Amino acid sequence: MGTELKFKPKILGFVCNWCCYAGADLAGVSRYQYPPYIKLIRVMCSGRVDLALVLRAFSNGADGVFIGGCWPGECHYVTEGNYNALSMMYLCRKLLAHVGVNPERLRLEWVSASEGIRFAEVMNDFAAKVRKLGPLGKGEGIDENALKSRLEAVTNLVPYIKLVERERLRLPFKSEEEYRKFFTGDEFNRLFEETVAEKLAISRIISLLREGPFTTGEIAKILGLTASEVSRHLNSSVRQGLVRYAENLKAFVPA
């Protein structure tokens, strides 16, 4: 038996009470099988699944995170939380990819209360994909400490990212296709680079410096950035009073 088949991933599923949770229930009473290592958490709407919750799940060792919501147009709340969930999913995937975590580890699907079979199929498919990806971090070739530090850097930035999301990414789209087009297009990439990427790089540098003093070259090597990028971020962090150069150590430390 291959290692991929032996690996039982930890998968956490946030499922909407009104649709996907009932679909899971139906799958259960109809005896449609899906892997027992998928743990479900019931939420009142997929829109309640916060970016910080997903990151916390990964930081606590989840190899995959699933979000199940009502089909578009079927959300039980006027705020159409399922579109918020969709938007959050795209943003979170982008953040994960940015720190080297495979974004396929996060999946969102619509499952209605009557779709017990579909629920089991989606779960089996997601579990197979996560098994193929391997354990979180290991599958990406990132060691445990680096993974912890990268996820911590993103988590520390959540309040800021939420602000950006509210100011710049709350979009009046009314179809999945429009969301997909926007979040996979150039405009979103530009916005992300402009507003989040730089702050994230600084957050990663500060997280790293908490582990000890490092030179520009060492930071670049560890974080997989170029020396000039690190130098630019360090200059800006020094100006903001976040980091300082310790002359006696010939390296940077948190301010």
Which of 38, 65, 70, 234 binds ligand FES (CB under 6 A)? It is 70
Neighbours of 167 (CB within 10 A): 9
Give me the 207-246 binding string for ligand FES, x by CB under 6 A, dash otherwise.
----------------------------------------
Give me the residue label for tokens 């490092």: 214
Nearer to ligand FES, 65 or 243 (CB): 65
Listed ranges 73-81, 180-188, 196-204, 223-231: which one lies at the site for ligand FES (CB under 6 A)? 73-81
Site for ligand FES in 77-96 (CB under 6 A): 77, 81-82
Beta-sheet pairing, 251-254 with 243-246: antiparallel
Task: Tell how far CA 132 is from the center of its chain.
Answer: 18
Q: Under the criterion CB under 6 A, does residue 69 sit at the interface with ligand FES? A: yes
Q: How many residues in the shown chain lie near ligand FES by CB under 6 A?
A: 13
| By CB under 6 A, residue 46 contacts ligand FES | yes
Q: Is residue 203 near ligand FES by the rule CB under 6 A?
A: no
Question: Please, is 177 exposed, middle or buried when counting C-beta atoms within 10 Å of its C-beta (0-12, 13-18, 19+)?
Answer: exposed
Distance CA 195, CA 84 (A): 20
Q: How far is the CB of 10 from ligand FES (least distance, A)?
A: 24
Does residue 47 touch ligand FES according to CB under 6 A? Answer: yes
Q: Does 45 help bind ligand FES (rule: CB under 6 A)? A: yes
Q: In angstroms, give the least distance from the CB of 85 to ligand FES.
A: 7
With beta carbons less than 8 A apart as the criterion, state whether 109 and 13 touch. no
Q: d(Cα 173, Cα 178) in Å, to the nearest integer?
A: 6
Q: Is 23 in the site for ligand FES (CB under 6 A)?
A: no
Q: Which residues pair with 47 in a beta bridge?
A: none
Helix intervals (H) in 73-197 = 81-98, 116-133, 144-156, 158-168, 176-183, 186-192
The secondary structure of residue 214, as a DSSP letter, is B
Give the residue with the Cβ less far from ligand FES, 19 or 133.
Answer: 19
Q: Is the dihedral of CA 213, 218, 220, 223 positive or negative?
A: negative
Binding ligand FES (rule: CB under 6 A), the pick from 12, 13, 14, 18 is 18
CA 161 to chain centre: 12
The nearer residue to ligand FES, 76 or 138, going by C-beta atoms, is 76
User: Which span (53-61, 75-83, 101-109, 199-207) binds ligand FES, by CB under 6 A?
Assistant: 75-83
Rounded distance between C-alpha atoms, residue 134 and residue 171, angstroms: 35
User: Does 13 contact ligand FES by CB under 6 A?
Assistant: no
Which CB, 19 or 147, lies closer to ligand FES?
19
At 21, which helix (H) or strand (E)?
A: helix 20-29
Contacts with ligand FES, residue ranges (CB under 6 A) = 16, 18-19, 45-47, 69-70, 75-77, 81-82
